[in-house]
Amino acid sequence: MDPKLKYILLKTVQDDGILPITSVCNMACQFCSHRNNPPGLDVYRLGHLGLDLIKELLQYLAPEGPVIIGESATRIIEGDPMTHPDFIQIIELLRKTFPRKEIRLTTNGSYLNGEMLNFLAAMKPLVLNISLNCSSPAERVFLMADSRPEEVFSGLKLLAKTDLSFHGSIVAMPHLLGWESLGRSIELLSYYGARTIRVFLPGFTRYSSPRLQFPIREIYGQIRSFLEKYEDLGTPILLEPPEINDLQARVKGIIPGSPAAASPLEKGALITAVNGDKPRTRVEAFQLILAAANPHLQYQQGGRKGEIILEKKAGEASGLIFDYDLDPAVLDQVTRLLLNNTGKNLALLTSVAAAGIMGAFLEDFNASYGPGLPAKEIDLLVVENRFFGGSIIAAGLLTISDIISKVKESARAYDILVLPGIIFDIFGNDLTGRNYREIEEALGVSLEII
């Protein structure tokens, strides 16, 4: 294996807890993120990794935290882990090496027969993330080219009879399947006991066929309004990406049967303090509550204030669901950076998806520190994904060309640009293989990568 790729693999396992075992997928989804891309992407398609390499990768997993299998990792194309011919042996090896580490496994569900589910149940703690996407075998064939379209639906029935936890996901395609299909898919996942349901805004690039394209803001608003009909279903439903314009720790949903479900907290409650500490973001609230045993929560709900002791063990999930906004470690890093560079012209660069979040952060920063800082302004530059185009709005898919174009258009001279680190791999290269130093050379600025 190329030493550079092996190093990327090792760092992915070590830093992110993601264990890539294959880039092979048994589907050909119309919404697949690896189709209809512009030429020039510098990504890796691995095939099935060998057992000897996987054994080596396991040595780099941190002892704490979960291991994630089947999710995207840097520039490595992810596949369905159950397509790997040694999948069972890999999971057994992982469990032998880490007897209590939680395994989070994402799959399209086409291998979830009784034998597989019995095996997975024996490998707990293990949580499944099932990409269902539609409500019938016929729709799976049309949308995903599923050659085993009945398997996931029979698997959900069997899964409901086990004590395995699972979450469901749906790429919303109402422009292809209609709204009834989306509603039936949500109801199906809830009926069979999904802990949460994530509904993803579908993505298309400027290279996608016209039938896959849609007016972004219109569809997003329609999906958001449609999901409101299912608020009483009991299962928390999350729209991805969330439209967030503040950093308040507002509860998005509560998992049935969880510690929070036995409390007076409801969807929409605002958590104002955890053991006396005010959470600065949703992510911080989630982390503080997760880490604590029997945390004392202060909250606002329905126009009144309240406080409770949430009975749970330290490290046990509370069942409170929050949209993801800003990790407190990132917040601290950006805050220190801005305070240490007063008097300089700075620009925070953000994706369209995170514009509301970063705008809220900058507003809070100026309210807290602005009066004591020199008059130099800190600009927020929202960078569009022009390389991909279409509906792509994520920071991880921004490129160096996108950044250079945006800064040049701003017509301002900056001393420092602050960039999201998710744009670059561990070598500082974007998805096209270009290095961040090209930005410094092209614009004559210093970079801070967060």
Q: What is the pLDDT of residue 374?
A: 56
**CATH 1.10.150 for domain 253-321:** no
Query: Phi/psi at 241 (nearest 5 deg)?
Result: -75, 150
CA-closest candidate to residue 321, choices 279, 258, 247: 258
Residue located via tokens 């299909």: 181
Which amino acid appears at position 82 of this protein?
A: M
Which amino acid appears at position 391 of this protein?
A: S
Per-residue pLDDT tens digits of the chain, which is 450 residues long: 788 888 889 999 999 999 999 999 999 999 888 888 888 888 888 899 999 999 999 999 998 899 999 998 778 889 999 999 999 999 999 999 999 999 999 999 999 999 999 999 999 999 999 999 999 999 999 999 999 999 999 999 999 999 999 999 999 999 999 999 999 999 999 999 999 999 999 889 999 989 888 888 899 999 999 999 998 888 999 999 998 999 999 999 999 999 999 999 999 999 999 999 999 999 999 999 999 999 999 999 999 999 999 999 999 999 999 999 999 999 999 999 999 988 899 999 999 999 999 999 999 998 888 766 654 678 999 999 999 999 999 999 999 999 999 999 998 899 999 999 999 998 999 999 999 999 999 999 999 999
Taking the domain 328-449, which CATH number applies? 3.40.50
Query: Phi/psi at 307 (nearest 5 deg)?
Result: -150, 145
CATH level 3 topology of 3-240: TIM Barrel (3.20.20)
SS3 content of the chain, % helix, strand, coil (to 5): 35, 20, 45
**Of all helices (H) and strands (E), which one includes residue 273?**
strand 270-274
What is the location of CATH 2.30.42 in the chain?
Answer: 253-321
What is the location of CATH 3.20.20.70 in the chain?
Answer: 3-240
What is the location of CATH 3.40.50 in the chain?
Answer: 328-449
Rounded to two decimals, the pTM is 0.92
Q: What is the pLDDT of residue 326?
A: 95
